[in-house]
Amino acid sequence: MSIRERLSGNEAVATAMKQINPDVVAAFPITPSTEIPQYFSTFVNNGLVDTEFVAVESEHSAMSACIGAEAAGSRAMTATSANGLSLMWEMIYIASSLRLPIVMSLVNRAVSGPLNIHNDHSDAMGVRDAGWIMLFSENNQEAYDNILMAHRIAEHKDVLLPLMVCQDGFITSHSIENIELLEDDKVKEFVGKYNPEHYLLNKKEPMAIGPLDLQSFLFEHKYQQAEAMRNAKKVIEEVSVEFEKLTGRKYNFFEEYKMDDAEYVVVCMNSTAGTAKYTVDELRAKGIKAGLLKVRMFRPFPAEEIAEALSKSSIKSVAVLDKSDSLNAAGGALYEDITSAMYVNKKSVPVVSYVYGIGGRDTTSDQIESVFEDLQKINKDDKVADPYRYLGLRK
């Protein structure tokens, strides 16, 4: 029987980490993820886990310690946000290139400068091509569940890639919601023990970690990373099916909300999906066939599946909401991936980009309703006058 609780997103993640009981947690505080290592350190102090907790002097050192621990054969976890992730940048790439299945909670926050501690997705989008699996979480329950599934995905022999679980800073990280927890013994059974095939402390197999890798081999090693990311799709699907059998909670690559007969569709990630669902319900009550596609699995990107979902015969126009700006004069990162997926899979529907919520700017249901109004106008005019737009920007 599941345990009913009321927790913030940060508490939910720390609780999942306690139940997993990793070998090593190395972390450095940064708002709004600070509470995760703070809560976890109390679990260590109270003897509820036997994790080696490493209090380091920076986020670069936190990821370095996780890399060393994972390479030595330990299961390692950490948490960070924004500038902390930026300081890890070098080690983020090293973790994935060494095929180390580290799990990190990324509490999304705007990256400086100017300094801003509130939520957008600029931190995650800055490392989207670094070789990490990336799962996004609409609410506290999803953040907790994604953490529980993370090691099963990352540590799979056909994957062996690090994984980050994203949630929106303050919006979910500090907001308290009802949540269903699994019992500790069920978590331990589901996650299982970490038994790496190759690791530094295996005296029977001397090995080097991070050697010089020049023209003769680096290309092939990068291809192996790409293959592992492609393999991750199947593994994520398999783990999600098993998790549903255990909990009754179903997770796919993305969630389709009232999409069966939708004519106008918004695509987004993380907590904005909750506001978008409310807006869809309000518009449906007015007779407008609105729908939502919420992306959960951003890396690997489910290009073929999303293209298929957005090419249903009823769909007349689509808006993609990006909570960060790529500053490329060609739309946000999610918009680029979706339009590329549509083109490659020979699917055609008018798609428009909206950058929104930068630096924690509130995004209301009225604003999202205005996006649906724009989609209706696009259909009426039979053209996209300006595909690169901003939502909630003061003129």
Give tens-digit pLDDT for 310-350. Answer: 999 999 999 999 999 999 999 999 999 999 999 999 999 99
301: left (phi over 0), alpha (psi -120 to 50) or beta: beta
- Cβ neighbours, 10 Å, residue 202: 13
Q: What is the pLDDT of residue 1?
A: 64
| Weakly modelled stretches of the chain, pLDDT under 50 | none
Give the contacts of 122 (CB within 8 A, at least 6 positions apart).
82, 110, 111, 324, 325, 358
Q: Domain 254-391 belongs to what topology?
A: Rossmann fold (3.40.50)
Q: What is the pLDDT of residue 216?
A: 95
188 burial (CB, 10 Å; 0-12 / 13-18 / 19+) is middle
Rounded CA gap, 71 and 73, in Å? 5
Rounded CA gap, 99 and 94, in Å? 9
346 alpha-carbon distance from chain centroid: 27
> Where in the chain do CATH 3.40.50.970 domains reside?
3-247
Q: What is the pLDDT of residue 211?
A: 83
- Cβ neighbours, 10 Å, residue 320: 27
CATH 3.40.50.1100 given to domain 3-247: no
> Which residue bears the tokens 């724009």?
374
Cis-peptide, bond into residue 32, ω within 30° of zero: yes
> Where in the chain do CATH 3.40.50.920 domains reside?
254-391
Cis-peptide, bond into residue 300, ω within 30° of zero: yes
Helix, strand, coil abundance in the chain, percent, nearest 5: 40, 20, 40
Mapped onto helix, strand or coil, the DSSP state of residue 213 is coil
H or E element: which one contains 107? strand 103-108
Q: What is the pLDDT of residue 227?
A: 98
With beta carbons less than 8 A apart as the criterion, state whether 167 and 143 touch. yes
